[in-house]
Amino acid sequence: LVQVPRIENSFVEQRYILPLGLPLLLLIFSSAMSIYIVRNIRSSIASLEHATRKIADGDLDFSLEVRGNDEIASLKRSFNTMRQKVKDEYARRARFIMGVSHDLKTPLALIEGYADAIQDGYADQPEKMERYLSIIKEKSKILEQRIGRLIDFVKLETEDWKLTNQDVNMLSFLHELTDRYSEDAEILGYPFKANIEVPANLSISMDKELVLRAFENLINNAIRYSIKEGTIELRAGIDSKAHPNRLDIDISNYGAGITEEELSYIFDPFYRGSNSRREEGLGLGLSTVKSIIQSHGWSINVKSLEESGPLVGAVKIVFTVSIPLEV
């Protein structure tokens, strides 16, 4: 008689209490996991919010710690990438401002110096006065040209330049380009070679004067950094197998070569690279070229080939403008 209630109690436990216990354990476990996940999410959001405030305050010298491969980790990686890009852009703008300051300050200082000399009576002879005034006029023209180039560059960078496009026959355009600059190169002692294989009826929409300016910069750059007796070459054609819907125009020369670091920054404004590539001027040539090319929806790249040049130590440098063709 005493054992019957125990059997009944055991039966009740198995029938009712145990089935209720399992869901209760699952509920406790899921609640604990939810609290853990929510805390992690709140902690991650708080760290992102803190990092955003740091960027707003101008602090870019930090990096978010990333753990795992979930969505939050992916967001943090994207945030770190964005922060680095903002930092690089700030550095680029700082170089831009420093470059403008330096390259405009030099002719201004000379103008001021010669003006002070005249004012202080150092130009006491007519010939000396004429020479000082001539120098002031020359430096004023240089300053005007640099300011003009800077304005053009800013317009191109801010997409404030209004393109005046027209359909241009590419065969005629390239022959005009060759005729215009081949003589200049050869007068300076650099052989000029042209290899143009373009369909006679190929026309491309472009701002002709602007594109001429871009190729003028590329050719002048090739001449400037070429070794003596190194050939300046212009090649244009369509690779019917690899890229049948693209026209490639190469401007190449033989020079001292370009390092991997320089290749990464060569189109940046005011970046002049190694000593062999430094000179007076704004240093906006290649940056302006890139802006002009990209404003047309084209692309430009540069490579430094290891093939042997005409002289020992010479490396072939090739700038390639790629123009997509309408199918």
**More confidently predicted of 163 and 176:** 176
Q: What is the pLDDT of residue 283?
A: 58
Q: What is the pLDDT of residue 105?
A: 79
Q: What is the pLDDT of residues 113-166, one digit of tens each?
A: 889 888 888 888 888 889 889 989 988 988 887 787 777 777 777 666 677 899
Q: Which two tokens stand for residue 123?
A: 């130009």
Q: What whole-number distance in Å separates Cα of residue 272 and Cα of residue 95?
A: 11
Q: What is the pLDDT of residue 310?
A: 55
Closest by CA to 304, choosing from 284, 320, 288, is 320
Q: What angle do CA 162, 166, 172 make, to 5 degrees?
A: 130
Burial 60-99 (b: 16+ CB within 10 A, else e): beeebeeeeeeebeeebeebbeebeeeeeeeeeeebbeeb
Q: What is the pLDDT of residues 272-326, one digit of tens each?
A: 555 444 444 545 678 888 988 998 999 999 998 876 555 666 788 999 999 999 7
- Tell me the percentage of the chain whose pLDDT exceeds 70: 82
The mean pLDDT of the chain is 80
Q: What is the pLDDT of residues 279-294, one digit of tens each?
A: 445 456 788 889 889 9
- The neighbouring-strand residues paired with 205 are 167
Q: What is the pLDDT of residue 261?
A: 77
Name the phi and psi angles at 6, rounded to 5: -65, -40
Q: What whole-number distance in Å separates Cα of residue 103 and Cα of residue 98?
A: 9
As a whole number, mean pLDDT of residues 36-57 equals 80
As a whole number, mean pLDDT of residues 94-120 equals 80
Structure-derived torsion over alpha carbons of residues 105, 106, 112, 117, reported in degrees to the nearest 10: 160
Contact 67, 73 (CB under 8 A): yes
Q: What whole-number distance in Å separates Cα of residue 178 and Cα of residue 324?
A: 22
